[in-house]
Amino acid sequence: MIACDLCALDCGKQPFTLETPHGTLNFCCEGCRGIYQMLNEINAPPAQPVQTMAPATERKKP
Ligand SMILES: [Zn+2]
């Protein structure tokens, strides 16, 4: 038996999992997982600032 990391209920055979920096957590339902995400502000894909690179080719004046 796997206990829900939010409400401690039985997660059943297929728990809802959530990858966190501290490990994988298990939840009994999508609602519990969503609440935990909201409380801890966990974003599935780590947000990274997008940096656009300067164009490599520069036009040279003749
Ligand atoms: Zn739960």
Which amino acid type is present at position 35? I
DSSP assignment, residue 54?
Answer: P
Q: What is the pLDDT along the chain (62 residues), one digit of tens a residue?
A: 899 999 999 999 999 999 988 899 999 999 999 999 999 876 655 556 666 766 667 677 77
Q: What is the pLDDT at residue 62?
A: 77
Residue ranges with CB less than 5 Å from ion ligand 1: 4, 6-7, 9, 28, 32
CATH number belonging to domain 1-44: 2.30.170
Report yes or no on whether pTM surpasses 0.95: no
Q: What is the pLDDT at residue 2?
A: 95
> What 3-state class would DSSP assign to 2?
coil
- Name the burial class of residue 5, with classes exposed (0-12), middle (13-18) and buried (19+) by CB atoms within 10 angstroms of its CB: buried
The answer to whether 10 and 4 are in contact (CB under 8 A) is yes
Domain extents in the chain: 1-44
Q: How far is the CA of 6 from the centre of ligand 1 (A)?
A: 5
| Helix, strand, coil fractions of the chain, as percent rounded to 5 | 20, 20, 65
Q: What is the pLDDT at residue 32?
A: 97
